[in-house]
């Protein structure tokens, strides 16, 4: 007979009991598991290698900005040399303050174990304060080895901020709205980056062929974009190794050409490193100041993508790559272009390509086009990641998520979003046909995301880092001093193309907020209408029905309690399966959930009821269920849940079987890890070998008899006394989104022949 301790050794974390009193601390085991997820120390050689690889993933968008910046600063031409030097000085210190000082040395430290972007910041906040709008947190979530959070002294500033954020629901909603604003404008960035990067790169064709029509350039750009989006389903796994050498070659190219132009045309342009020329430029260009600032803003586009595309590169590797390669090459590129423009003021429109020596023009054109494609790919991939994270947080309709690589979990493809991005990107490229209006739209999207990041960093610095309030205020003031003028400059260009990202952001915001609002209301309905254990116990072991052989998986949003769908089911059908398992798929604000902690099993009610709960814990920031896995999710659940049931049965106690010493009320319905008798818990006793064999035979026979997946289909409707706006939102918009999104049965890959839908209507 195998002992209980043997089972725990072979499959740790799979046995779960109802009684909290059986829980014994396992500090040594928890410490060992946590050490597995502490950031690894990297050797110098490996660190340099990772820094090189990060060039192709993180810096493509920022590196292609020299293609179009000066044209957007001076759309009406250059009047004098001082204007060029002043604009260059603005570019230099904007690059220094925002990408270098703010992002590379401050914001990157706020990554969520390698994941960046606004959702990563929100994930950190959700772990350190109860600010999630879906109240499905459970104290056992904090026992995950990857669930890290801070503790605070009661009277500390961090504790006061935490209590303030948790105090009212409207504060949580305001925080969510802020995150969604940043997310939706980042999606707009995913539309505009391919448009402006590819169009600017292909514009080099006209420099050597001045008589060529603009329509030809647009057609070439659109063709490249169609090819780029059409190849997304193949992923970047096979060609990703080319990205880093290509982008590195691009930075060497623009840096070398910049140094050559400084030496050849006008080395006096180096005086732009004196910030006094910023003041002179702003004082002299009063009438064109907002136009110029909007153009300068484009020099830091891609900075937010730098944070969003962190992709588990060590922060130190990013810092090395930026300070040793990206930053100096960008400074040389902009300085060299400024030196060229001072001598050739009429070439400001195509300053980048015209400043390239004729001997390397076409190789430079090819490298520029490929670099633009790499930059576009990074932004498209970041958009997929954003949508995936929004799905996990219940902020976006269910769509298909396909993993394109078996090696890298972060490489995903979302077909529906891909084609939407392609259509919008082509529409922007073909509709505007020039860099000016696309640049205006691009700058608006970028600056809004930067402002959102700035505001989210304030609670991060207070709660997560426990920074002194003086440092927080300093960070906030310095960031807003730079970003707010750029925001005003971009808003002033709303009628000149800046409306595009606002329209895209508003559209996605409405979709996300409406979906999340109705999702929260549906969850609240499930919480308030869940069935009491007293009612279940009153039905007896047969639940008042015929118990037919088999296992029934009842899917629910609840991580505790018996869902209303179950009572609706058993009051309308005459039979139920011999074994019932309530399955809850729960996303947690962590970057990964260890395999041994992914499935949580427990018994509901007395042993002879044969009712269990399975909570499947997934990470909201990383991998999840997809259509590309080798076997379906439902098969995984059946296999792993059945194995866990067997172990749960074997780990049972006489006390649990009789039910004499336990009160099966909803208050006891919690998920607590059961420990081995060898850990000192003498209240657990081992089953006899005959009892265990009987249980094993019973569960195996139920598994062989068949499995049925029971899914609830809750239809949300607005109450009759609701206002017209609420009726439009709930009865029409949300109903339309539910109609076009994927069903849970498709997401979980449930076989059609074993699916049973149970419908109910909920009025809000």
pLDDT in tens, 291-344: 788 889 889 988 887 887 776 678 888 899 999 999 999 999 999 999 999 999
Is 37 within the bounds of a domain?
Answer: no
Residue 302, Ramachandran bin (φ over 0: left; ψ between -120 and 50: alpha; else beta)? left
- Res. 645: pLDDT tops 90: no
269, 84 in Cβ contact below 8 A? Answer: yes
- Domain limit, last residue, from 474, 508, 542: 508
Res. 570: pLDDT tops 60: yes
* 236 is a domain residue: yes
Show the domain range for 542: 530-623+641-646+698-763
Interacting residues of 310 by C-beta distance below 8 A, sequence separation 6+:
58, 108, 111, 114, 115, 116, 318
Task: Report which listed range, 34-38, 40-44, 122-126, 569-573, is most confident.
Answer: 122-126
- Nearest of 653, 696, 558, 647 to residue 13 by alpha carbon: 647
Helix (H, G, I), strand (E, B) or coil at 680: coil
Q: Which residues of 565-579 are buried (b: 16+ CB within 10 A; e: fewer)?
A: bbbbbbeeeeebbbb
Q: Are residues 324 and 395 in the same domain?
A: yes
Same domain membership, residue 490 and residue 562: no
CATH number reported for the structural domain that contains residue 285 in this entry: 1.20.1740.10
Shortest CA distance to 586 belongs to which of 523, 628, 663? 523
Residues 75 and 207 in one domain: yes
Same domain, 572 and 443: no
d(CA 604, CA 659): 11
Residue 225: inside a domain: yes
Q: What pLDDT is stored for residue 591 in this prediction?
A: 64
Which helix or strand (DSSP H or E) is residue 549 part of? strand 546-555
Q: Tell me, yes or no, whether 569 lies in a domain.
A: yes
Pair (261, 309) in one structural domain: yes
Task: Give domain status of residue 632, yes or no.
Answer: no
Whole-angstrom distance, CA of residue 403 vs CA of residue 250: 29
**Where does the pLDDT of residue 364 fall: very low under 50, low under 70, confident under 90, or very high at 90 and above?**
very high
Using the 3D structure, point to which of 508, 538, 554 is the last residue of a domain: 508
Domain count of the fold of the chain: 2
pTM over the 0.85 mark: no
The distance of Cα 290 from the centroid of its chain, to the nearest Å, equals: 33
- 402 shares its domain with 543: no
**342 and 217: one domain?**
yes
Does residue 351 sit in the same domain as residue 475? Answer: yes
Is 48 contained in some domain?
no
Phi, psi of 178 (to 5 degrees): -60, -45
* 500 and 570 share one domain: no
Are the beta carbons of 158 and 460 closer than 8 angstroms? Answer: no
Rg (CA), the chain: 29
Q: What pLDDT does residue 143 have?
A: 64
Tokens matching residue 625: 């269920």
In a domain, 39, yes or no: no
How far is the C-alpha of 718 from the C-alpha of 253, rounded, in Å? 60
The verdict on residue 690 lying in a domain is: no
Same domain membership, residue 257 and residue 172: yes
Looking at the structure, do residues 373 and 249 belong to the same domain, yes or no? Answer: yes
Residue by residue, what is the 3-state secondary structure of 567-588?
HHHHCCCCEEEEEEEEEEEEEE
In whole angstroms, give the CA distance from residue 544 to residue 567: 11
Reply yes or no on whether the pLDDT at 126 is more than 80.
yes
Give the 3-state secondary structure of residue 763.
strand
Most confident of 190-194, 235-239, 256-260, 414-418: 256-260
- Check whether residue 457 and residue 601 sit in a common domain: no
Domain boundary among 478, 508, 538: 508
Which long-range contacts (C-beta less than 8 Å, at least 24 apart) are formed by 107-110?
A: 107/307, 107/453, 107/457, 108/306, 108/307, 108/310, 108/315, 108/318, 108/319, 109/315, 109/465, 110/457, 110/460, 110/464, 110/465
Neighbouring residues of 309: CB distance < 8 A, sequence distance ≥ 6? 57, 58, 116, 378, 381, 382
In whole angstroms, how far apart are CA 417 and each of 233, 384, 471, 624? 12, 8, 40, 17
Lowest mean pLDDT among 29-33, 182-186, 208-212, 591-595: 29-33
pLDDT in tens, 575-602: 888 888 888 887 776 667 777 778 888 8
CB-based contact 536:562 (threshold 8 Å)? yes
pLDDT for 528: 82
Structure tokens at 16: 């779960």
């Amino acid at each position: 007979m195998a002992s209980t301790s043997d089972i725990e050794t072979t499959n740790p974390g799979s046995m779960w009991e109802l009684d909290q009193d059986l829980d014994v601390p396992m500090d040594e085991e928890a410490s060992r598991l946590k050490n597995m997820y502490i950031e690894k120390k990297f050797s110098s050689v490996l660190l340099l290698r990772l820094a090189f690889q990060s060039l192709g993933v993180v810096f493509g968008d920022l590196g292609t900005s020299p293609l179009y910046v000066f044209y957007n600063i001076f759309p009406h031409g250059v009047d004098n040399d001082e204007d060029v030097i002043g604009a260059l000085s603005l570019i230099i210190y904007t690059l220094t303050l925002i990408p270098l000082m703010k992002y590379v040395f401050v914001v990157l430290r706020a990554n969520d174990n390698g994941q960046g972007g606004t959702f990563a910041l929100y994930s950190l906040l959700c772990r350190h304060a109860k600010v999630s709008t879906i109240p499905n947190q459970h104290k056992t979530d904090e026992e995950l080895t990857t669930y890290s959070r801070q503790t605070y002294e009661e009277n500390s500033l961090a504790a006061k901020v935490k209590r303030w954020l948790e105090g009212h629901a409207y504060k949580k909603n305001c925080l969510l709205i802020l995150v969604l604003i940043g997310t939706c404008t980042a999606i707009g960035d995913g539309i505009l980056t391919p448009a402006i990067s590819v169009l600017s790169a292909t514009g080099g064709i006209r420099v050597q062929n001045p008589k060529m029509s603009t329509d030809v350039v647009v057609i070439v750009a659109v063709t490249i974009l169609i090819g780029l989006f059409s190849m997304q389903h193949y992923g970047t796994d096979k060609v990703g190794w080319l990205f880093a050498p290509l982008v590195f070659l691009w930075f060497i190219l623009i840096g070398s050409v910049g140094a050559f132009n400084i030496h050849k045309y006008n080395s006096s342009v180096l005086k732009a490193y004196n910030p006094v020329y910023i003041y002179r430029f702003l004082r002299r260009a009063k009438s064109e100041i907002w136009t110029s600032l909007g153009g300068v803003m484009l020099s830091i586009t891609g900075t937010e993508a730098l944070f969003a595309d962190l992709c588990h590169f060590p922060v130190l590797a990013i810092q090395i790559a930026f300070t040793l390669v990206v930053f100096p090459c960008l400074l040389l590129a902009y300085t060299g272009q400024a030196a060229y423009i001072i001598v050739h003021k009429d070439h400001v429109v195509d300053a980048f390509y015209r400043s390239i020596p004729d001997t390397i023009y076409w190789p430079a054109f090819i490298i520029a086009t490929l670099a633009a494609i790499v930059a576009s790919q990074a932004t498209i991939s970041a958009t997929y990641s954003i949508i995936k994270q929004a799905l996990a947080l219940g902020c976006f309709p269910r769509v298909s998520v396909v993993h394109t690589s078996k090696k890298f979990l972060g490489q995903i493809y979302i077909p529906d979003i891909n084609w939407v991005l392609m259509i919008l990107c082509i529409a922007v490229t073909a509709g505007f046909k020039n860099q000016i209006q696309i640049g205006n739209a691009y700058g608006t999207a970028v600056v809004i995301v930067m402002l959102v990041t700035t505001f989210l960093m304030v609670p991060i610095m207070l709660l997560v880092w426990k920074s002194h309030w003086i440092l927080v205020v300093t960070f906030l003031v310095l960031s807003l001093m730079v970003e707010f003028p750029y925001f005003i400059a971009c808003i002033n260009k709303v009628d000149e193309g800046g409306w595009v990202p606002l329209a895209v952001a508003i559209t996605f915001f409405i979709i996300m907020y409406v979906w999340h609002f109705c999702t929260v209301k549906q969850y609240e309905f499930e919480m308030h209408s869940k069935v009491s254990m007293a009612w279940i116990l009153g039905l007896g072991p047969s639940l008042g029905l015929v118990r037919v052989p088999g296992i029934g998986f009842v899917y629910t949003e609840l991580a505790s309690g018996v869902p209303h769908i179950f009572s609706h089911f058993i009051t309308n059908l005459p039979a139920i399966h011999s074994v019932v398992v309530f399955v809850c798929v729960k996303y947690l604000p962590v970057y990964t959930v260890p395999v041994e902690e992914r499935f949580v099993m427990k018994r509901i009610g007395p042993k002879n009821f044969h009712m269990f709960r399975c909570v499947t814990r997934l990470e909201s920031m990383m991998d999840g269920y997809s259509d590309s896995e080798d076997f379906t999710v439902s098969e995984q659940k059946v296999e792993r849940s059945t194995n866990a049931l067997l172990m749960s049965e074997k780990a049972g106690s006489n006390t649990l079987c009789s039910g004499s010493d336990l009160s099966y009320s909803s208050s006891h319905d919690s998920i607590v890890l059961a420990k081995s008798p060898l850990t000192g818990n003498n209240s657990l006793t081992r089953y006899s070998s005959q009892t265990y064999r009987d249980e094993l035979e019973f569960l195996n026979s139920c598994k062989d008899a068949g499995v049925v997946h029971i899914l609830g289909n809750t239809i949300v409707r607005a109450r009759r006394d609701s206002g017209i706006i609420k009726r439009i939102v709930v009865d029409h918009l949300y109903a339309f989104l539910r109609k076009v999104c994927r069903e849970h049965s498709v997401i979980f890959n449930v076989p059609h022949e074993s699916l049973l839908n149970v419908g109910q209507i909920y009025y809000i």
